[in-house]
Structure 1
Amino acid sequence: MTTTSTTNDTTVAARSTPRFLNKIALITGGASGIGKATAELLASEGACVVIADRCCEEGNALATRLSRERRKALFVETDITSPASVESMVARTMSEYGRIDCAVNNAGVSETSIDLVDASSEQWERLISINLRGVWLSMQHEISAMLPAGRGAIVNVSSRTGLVGKPRLAIYTASKHGVLGLTRSAAIDYAPCGIRINAVCPGLVQTPFVESKFGERLPELARTMNPLGRIGEPKEVAECIAWLCSDAASFVVGVSLPVDGGAVA
């Protein structure tokens, strides 16, 4: 009986240990939406979170609030379209904490629906620069920082549109498909180095951006977009990101995980 009790107590204690205790987590686009929910979740589970975003007011406010809640958080102003800014983001993280255990490349933008033939080169450059090139730049520096330690986890945030075609959103769709190509190839290259790279593909999620984009159409879209008949919550995507970053997903490499209420299915 004593042995059983000790074993059970140990199991309970192990389960109650925060998944990310003293881990260093870097999150791009971490000031709002899915990135913010991810920063909050990882911080609540013991991580030191680095919130990288170009929105200084929101990023500083989040880092300040988390710190007041006795979480460990740092805001770093970052423009992921700038190689120098991305390099500085990772350098600052390494200077403060000495390593990066997990990175979430979440920063991205969408586009107004437009026919392919009417799209401008400026629209192409903007979307590809942020959604695809920004992920590539971030991964370059994050992986370089992880290689000496021989371990790490990276989660790239693509989209449901990264898995299917979508009418009148050709450039956005191309950028999000590209993120999955980067994810899969890099996953193969760096798994032998102990770095796991995966992606999540969120569907319609209740973020400020989605609310402003769809406005009064949102309730109807929420009812018809997927089999669950509702819109997703940022924390639901954050939970999937956290799992992919955690040791529980230690044998998961190169996946593109839909988090979309069954829309792709």
Structure 2
Amino acid sequence: MTKEFAGKVALVTGGGSGIGAACARQLAEEGARVVVADMNLAGAQAVVDTILAAGGTASARQVDVSDPQAVKAMVEFAAETYGGLDCAVNNAGIGGPLKPIAEYEIDEWQHVIAVNQNSVFYCMKYEIEVMLRQAKGSIVNMSSILGTNAIANAPAYVAAKHALVGMTKSAAIAYSASGVRVNAVGPGYIRTPLVESSLDEESISGLVGLHPIGRLGTSEEVANLTLFLLSDRASFITGSYHLVDGGYAAQ
């Protein structure tokens, strides 16, 4: 049986843990040659080692996605190592401080915007350049339920995730006729290592209560949707924003 991404090249940022790691592993399982990029090289390499042990093909790349030249080099590495770029998951991001706008420091704002918003512009710019040469490609930008909703005390994160949805739509309109599709995914609260390490069980239980389905999501569930959007099965889907949130936004 032919694997869905056989012969394709994929790039995943923030691929060293959580949602990014799940996307990288699933892409490799389906036959893609995957570049796993992360600020944490050890985390990226651990994911690559898992992929290699399962018989897949992958490489680790350390990258600071807030640095446009580092992003350019990352994309060039993927294209030169594997001969092109068919799929990209722009997933890297940070949470940032939890405080209202009047208490937010300027450097805190700039850092969150640099990592969560500007980085996606850099990634798309260089990914699309490669994809246009091939006249095909598919990109998924990892937004959030906070790409349309909001919470108090996370102004930079909410602003960046809203911006990702807008950039996704703009890029999709510009490049769909050239064979490049761009979509966004909006996860609800997902049980990732970051959530489990930064919150106690009482806080996690509070998050669970926000989801009508009665639990947090898993990284694999977000990856399932992401791979569908990257695949040829989603060939008529572009410029859209898809929730995987256990009913959070339906309330």
In the superposition, the TM-score normalised over structure 2's length comes to: 0.97
**Structure 2 partner of 1:228:** 213
Tell me whether 1:107 sits opposite 2:104 in the alignment: no
Checking the alignment, whether the CA contact within 8 Å between 2:97 and 2:108 is kept in structure 1 is no
Query: 1:72-83 maps to which residues of 2 (within 5 A)?
Result: 72-83=57-68
Task: State the 1:166 CA deviation.
Answer: 1.1
Aligned to 2:138: 153
Aligned AA for 1:165?
Answer: A
Larger radius of gyration: 1
Distance between the aligned counterparts of 2:46 and 2:208, measured in 1? Answer: 33
Deviations 1:152-189 (A, max 9, x none): 00000001111112111111100100111110100100
Once the two structures are TM-superposed, the CA of residue 67 in structure 1 deviates from its matched residue by: 1.1
Distance 1:180 1:100 in 2: 22
Aligned to 1:4: none
| Alignment check: 8 A CA contact 1:40 1:66 kept | yes
Q: One-letter code of the match for 1:59?
A: A
Task: State the match for 1:69 in structure 2.
Answer: 54
Q: Equivalences for 1:105-144 in 2 at 5 Å?
A: 105-144=90-129
Counterpart Cα distance in 2 of 1:218 and 1:44 = 34
Structure 1, unmatched stretches of 5+, are: 1-15
Conservation of the 8 A alpha-carbon contact between 1:25 and 1:49: yes
CA distance in 2, matches of 1:111, 1:94: 32
Residues in 2 aligned to 1:217 and 1:124: alpha-carbon distance in whole angstroms: 28
Contact 1:211 1:218 (C-alpha < 8 Å) held by counterparts: no
**Alignment partner, residue 12 of structure 1:** none
**CA-to-aligned-CA distance 1:77-131 (integer Å, 9 cap, x gap):** 1110111110110111111111100000000000232011000001111100000
Q: Measure the CA separation in 2 of the matches of 1:251 and 1:44.
A: 24
Shift of residue 222 of structure 1?
4.3
TM norm structure 1: 0.92
**Counterpart Cα distance in 1 of 2:243 and 2:53:** 34
Q: Does 1:259 align with 2:238?
A: no
Partner of 2:154: 169
| Correspondence 1:90-105 to 2 at 5 A | 90-105=75-90
Measured on the aligned residues, the alpha-carbon RMSD in Å equals: 1.0
Moved over 3 A (4+): none
Mark the runs of 5 or more structure 2 residues left unpaired by the alignment.
none
Deviations 1:181-215 (A, max 9, x none): 11010010010110000000001001111112322
Q: Which one of 7, 23, 27 corresponds to residue 8 of structure 2?
A: 23
Amino acid at match of 1:57: A
Q: Match for 2:20 among 10, 23, 35?
A: 35
Out of 202, 209, 216, which is 2:187 matched to? 202
Are 2:13 and 2:20, in contact at CA under 8 Å, matched by a contact in 1? yes
Alignment partner, residue 193 of structure 1 = 178
